[in-house]
Amino acid sequence: MVDLSVNLNGFKLKNPIITASGTYGYADEYDDFINVSELGAIVTKAISIEPKKGNSGERLFETYGGMINRIGLENVGIKEFISKKLPTLKDKNINFIMNLAGSSVEDYIKAAEVAQNAGIKAVEVNVSCPNVKQGCLEFGTNPNSLGHLTSEIRKIYKGFLIIKLTPNVADIESLAKSAESNGADCISAINTLKGLGVKIEITPDKNIKKTFVQGGLSGKCIKPVALSMVKRIKSSVQIPIIGIGGISTVDDVLEFLTVGADAIQIGTENFRHPDVTIKIKNELNNIIESLNLKSLDDLKRKLRNE
């Protein structure tokens, strides 16, 4: 029997396969495809204090090896999450991480308080949201703002605290260090890259119709950026790292483990293959067995020549 379990600084997963926020709803959406409780964990869609309708107009744009989305953090809001979604996750015995979004430090603090009172074991803080009070800069682009946000959440929330970094920065190392030194238990990376989809169509009356979709790029095409970010984060912090970005095969998982990820999240690929997570989990098990190793930890050591 191969031991696929992971212990992320006290937060335990039965395997390293997690689904990424925004691509897995609140889990029941995937019931027809897989037994979700077999996953290491799922990350919920971003949850904000108030419900959000998200953006109007075109929200998705398919591009080479990926997609651009501008969903705009549509979500049911924290009250409905606690009253309606949380009982289902508990009934089905699904290990989950709550993804938090906000546009001011106060928003995040309120959400962290609710998470703490509801006994939620793990939260992932999405810091790619615009900080309205600081002129719409993202929290995740400035080490001081990120440090302040992390320490304020840490004062209230005692569970497993993951800070999810955005790749839209020059110096990811400083941001990771700031999250770690202000109390984060884990870093997850990366969120989507800023991208623009442009579609030009010639209409029957010989005019040109232009569509622009400015949003977050995800999927296979971002994997090299994500691998580079994870490797750089690994060289600057001691806390565990969850690697995210363009994972669609077990080979991708091996690459992320090699550069320093302790667990991984799969996002966009779920839309193409809703059972990809379980397939990868089984293949990972087989690879470990074929190498005559006993556990995921053994595999990580071998990949990293430790």
Ligand X SMILES: Cc1cc2nc3c(=O)[nH]c(=O)nc-3n(C[C@H](O)[C@H](O)[C@H](O)COP(=O)(O)O)c2cc1C
Nearer of residues 43 and 294 to ligand X, judged by Cβ: 43
Answer whether 81's CB lies under 8 Å from 49's CB. no
Nearer of residues 131 and 218 to ligand X, judged by Cβ: 218
Token pair of 18, please? 């997690």
Percent helix, strand, coil in the chain, to 5, is 40, 25, 35
CA-CA distances (angstroms) from residue 50 to 24, 62, 102, 109, 274? 20, 30, 9, 13, 29
Helix axis angle for 250-259 and 296-303, nearest 10°, is: 70
Q: Which of 50, 31, 36 is nearest to 114 (CA)?
A: 50
Residue 227 in contact with ligand X, rule: CB under 6 A: no
Applying CB under 6 A, which part among 30-38, 77-85, 199-207, 214-222 lies near ligand X? 214-222
The count of residues interacting with ligand X (CB under 6 A) is 24
Residue 27 corresponds to which amino acid? A
Nearer of residues 23 and 145 to ligand X, judged by Cβ: 23
For the question of residue 129 being annotated catalytic, the response is: yes
Q: Least distance from C-beta 264 to ligand X, angstroms?
A: 9
Would you give the binding string for ligand X spanning residues 64-83, x where CB under 6 A is met? -----x-x-x----------
Answer whether 111's CB lies under 8 Å from 125's CB. no
φ and ψ at residue 144, rounded to 5 degrees: -70, -45
β-strand pairing of 186-189 with 11-13:
unpaired
Task: Tell which one of 85, 110, 164, 300 touches ligand X (CB under 6 A).
Answer: 164
Task: Tell which one of 15, 142, 268, 277 touches ligand X (CB under 6 A).
Answer: 268
Task: Tell which one of 40, 219, 240, 243 touches ligand X (CB under 6 A).
Answer: 219
Cα separation, 199 vs 270, whole angstroms: 25
Token pair of 152, please? 């304020």
Residue 224: CB atoms within 10 Å: 12
Q: Least distance from C-beta 232 to ligand X, angstroms?
A: 17
Identify residues 230-259 at the interface with ligand X (CB under 6 A).
244-247
Residue 267 in contact with ligand X, rule: CB under 6 A: yes
Q: Least distance from C-beta 1 to ligand X, angstroms?
A: 29
Q: Which of 226, 301, 210 is nearest to 262 (CA)?
A: 301
Q: Least distance from C-beta 150 to ligand X, angstroms?
A: 15
Residue 192 corresponds to which amino acid? T
Helical H segments across 56-164, by residue range: 78-80, 86-91, 105-117, 143-156
Q: Least distance from C-beta 175 to ligand X, angstroms?
A: 15
Would you give the binding string for ligand X spanning residues 42-61, x where CB under 6 A is met? ---xx---------------
Applying CB under 6 A, which part among 76-84, 88-96, 144-152, 260-268 lies near ligand X? 260-268
Binding positions for ligand X, rule: CB under 6 A? 20-23, 45-46, 69, 71, 73, 99, 126, 164, 191-192, 218-219, 222, 244-247, 266-268
The catalytic site residues sit at: 129
